[in-house]
Amino acid sequence: MNISIIGRQINVYEDLKEFTTKKLAKFDRYFPKGADAAVTFRKIRDNECVEITISVGGTLFRAEESTADFKTSVVRCIDIIEGQIRKNKTRLEKRMKSSFAAAEAAMEQAPVEEEGTFDIRTKSFPLKPMTPEEAILQMNLLGHSFYAFEDADTGATCIVYKRNAGSYGLMVPEKKAD
């Protein structure tokens, strides 16, 4: 697994890097062909926050935890991601057939209740050209946690969302290379 460790406004010491690398090594059995993991460490007030994102075969696994120390946050993130893998085992097997062949034996050890079919509610609405600031205002007026809109400048379909920290995020689609 390719691991990149980032410290946001902090120094990540070697012992914490080794601990994180050792804990992430357990995912090698799930992803024998390899995966990319990005681990971000940062301090938020008195808590130490860890965000782990694992990318494999176009599928992302993400967990974020904030506790009193980084090692506890890392362990909790690992547990969350492992739970995501177990919960969505059959769906992921279809997407990454060969990647899960080696991990199948490891998954059978701990039976986990599979999630049934999704109950999907469809809603259609007109995409109006607006700026991200106008979209945030509209989202807040509706009381939603996200809002899809057409960017007035680029014409791209974008999404604004409310982050856990209280700030806002903007999702913009990448341009396809021709």
pLDDT tens-place string over residues 138-153: 888 777 889 999 999 9
Domain coordinates in residue numbering, the chain: 2-108, 129-171
HSE-up of residue 47 (Cα within 13 Å, Cβ side): 12
Q: Which of 106, 89, 93 is nearest to 27 (CA)?
A: 106
Identical fold, 2-108 and 129-171: no
- Asked if the model's pLDDT at residue 110 lies above 80, the reply is no
For the domain 2-108, what is the CATH superfamily, name and number? Ribosome hibernation promotion factor-like (3.30.160.100)
In this prediction, residue 99 has a pLDDT band, given cuts at 50, 70 and 90, of: very low
- Asked if the model's pLDDT at residue 96 lies above 90, the reply is no
Q: Which of 29, 6, 26, 24 is nearest to 74 (CA)?
A: 24
- Asked if the model's pLDDT at residue 100 lies above 80, the reply is no
- Asked if the model's pLDDT at residue 102 lies above 60, the reply is no
Q: How far apart are CA 26 and CA 30, in angstroms?
A: 8
The predicted model gives 58-72 an average pLDDT of 87
Q: How far apart are CA 80 and CA 52, in angstroms?
A: 10
Is pTM beyond 0.75 here?
A: no
Q: What are phi and psi of 86, to 5 degrees?
A: -65, -40
Q: Which CATH architecture has domain 129-171?
A: 2-Layer Sandwich (3.30)
- Asked if the model's pLDDT at residue 169 lies above 90, the reply is yes
Cα separation values, 175 from 60, 131, 148, 154, 158, Å: 20, 19, 18, 11, 13
